[in-house]
Structure 1
Amino acid sequence: MDVPELLERASLLVPEAVADAGDVTVSDVWEYLVQDEWEVALSLLEELSGVQALPPALWEALADAAEELRLGRSAAWCRWRWCEARSGVIRADLALRPAAEARRKTPVPGAGVLRPLWDIGARSPSGGPAVGVAALWVENLPSLAPGGRAAVRLLPLTPAHWRHVTVGQRIALHEDRTVAGTTTVLEVRPPVVPG
C-alpha cells in the first residue's frame, strides 16, 4: 500500500463525532491528500492526540504512512499511540534531578527509547517496593536535560501492574537504586481496545 492509500485509509478511521468547530475534520485531511500534501495530512492526523478513543488501526495506518515518508519520529509517535490505544494512557509531569545530584549527566531521550524503573507504590511479597518498567515519551521535546521538567507519557511493560495508578499520585523514576526524578500523574485513561 502506498502513502496516499495509507493516509486515505487512516482519514476514514477518524470518528466523525470527534470534531468541534475549530478541530481538524476528515474533509480537512482530504483537501491535503487531493493536493498531494501527504506530510501535512499526516501531521493533521497526528494532532488528534487529545482525542480519547481513536482506534489502534488508525495509529497503525499512520505509522505505516510515516515510515513510507521516512519520517522516523512521526512513525515512532504513531506506534506509541497504537500501543496506548491497546494498553491505556498515563501522562505525568516529570521533574528530573539536577546532574550534580543524580547519576544521569546526559539528557533523557524523548522518543520512547528509555525504559526506566518506576516506584508506583506496589509491594513485593517480602514487603519491599516492587518497581514497574515503563517506556518514557517526553511530550513536545526531543529530550529532557537533567534538572529539567516536562509533561511525559508512560507506557508500562505490564499494564496490569499499573491499573492502581491514579491522577495526582506521585511516582519515582529510577535508573539505578537512587531516585532520578519524580512525577505527578496528570491523566490516566483506559485502553481503547481492552487487553
Structure 2
Amino acid sequence: MVDNQRMDVPELLESASLLVPEETAAGNDVTVQDIWDYLAHDEWEIALDLLEEFADGRSLPLAFWEKLAEAAEQLHLERSAAWCHWRCSEIRNGVIRAELTLRPAGEGRRTTPIPGAGVLRPMWDIGHLSPTGERAVSIAALWVENMPVLAPGGQATVRLVPLTPSHWTHVQPGQQITMHEDRNVAGIAVILQVHRPAATPRR
C-alpha cells in the first residue's frame, strides 16, 4: 500500500481527486470541481462518497483506491473502507461479475445469510479437474452488489475476486459455475462479465 502515514483525510481525498480526469462527471453530473468545493468546506464524507461514485464502472489506478481506503479508515467508515480495499483487490487479481442464486435453507448446508461485504471466500467449481480426474475447486472472495447480505434461496449480482487469477483465465460470460462451502452445491452463478487483472507498476 502507498505510504500515507503523514497524510490526513483532506490531503488523501485531494490526492485521489487529482487522479480523476477533469472532464469526468458522475451519474448526477457532479464534477471534480464540485468535489474540491466540498473539500474546501470540510465535507469529507460527501467528497469520499462522490469519489467512489466517480470510479463506478471506470478504470482508475490502484493509487486512487488506496488513498480512498486510507481516508475511509481515518473517518471510521468501515463499509466504505472495505469497498475501497475490495476495489484494490479487483485491480490486482481481476474480477468476475455474476448472477448468483443460493440454494434454499432446507436444501443446503447454509441456514443464515452470507455477508455481502467481501468477507466470505467460498470455493467455486469452474470446470477444473485434479490429476486423478476429480473435481478441483478454486477460491474466490465474494461481494454482493447493492445488498448487505444474501439470504439462502436469494438471488443477486455478485463480484468475485479470484485468489489465484491464473485459474480463472478460461471463464467467459454466459458460463455457469457452482459455489461450494463443503462438498455440496451452495449456489449456482452465471457469469456476466470478466475483467482481467490490471498491469500495475512494480513498487
Match of 2:198, SS state, is coil
Residue 176 (structure 1) aligns with: 182
Runs of 4+ displaced beyond 4 Å: 20-23
> 1:86-97 alignment to 2 at 5 Å?
86-97=92-103
Match of 2:189, SS state, is strand
Choose which of 167, 172, 176 in structure 2 pairs with 1:166: 172
> 1:83-162 alignment to 2 at 5 Å?
83-162=89-168
* % same residue: 65
Cα distance, 1:87–1:16 mapped onto 2, change above 3 Å: farther
- Kindly tell me the number of residue pairs found equivalent between the two proteins: 195
Larger helix fraction of residues: 1
Do the aligned residues in 2 keep the contact of 1:53 with 1:192 (CA within 8 Å)?
no
Q: Structure 1 residue 63 and structure 2 residue 34: aligned?
A: no
Match of 2:106, SS state, is helix
Q: TM-score scaled by structure 2?
A: 0.90
Residue 81 (structure 1) aligns with: 87
> 1:10-89 alignment to 2 at 5 Å?
10-16=16-22, 18-19=24-25, 22-89=28-95
Do the aligned residues in 2 keep the contact of 1:138 with 1:152 (CA within 8 Å)?
yes
Cα distance, 1:55–1:23 mapped onto 2, change above 3 Å: farther
Gapped regions of structure 1 (runs ≥ 5): none
Q: What is the RMSD of the two structures over their aligned residues, measured on CA atoms?
A: 1.7
For 2:97 and 2:107, locate their aligned partners in 1 and report how far apart those are by CA, in whole Å: 25
Q: Which amino acid aligns with 2:180?
A: H
Cα distance, 1:21–1:147 mapped onto 2, change above 3 Å: closer
Gapped regions of structure 2 (runs ≥ 5): 1-6
Match of 1:101, SS state, is coil
For 1:20 and 1:147, locate their aligned partners in 2 and report how far apart those are by CA, in whole Å: 34
The CA deviation at 1:111 is 0.7
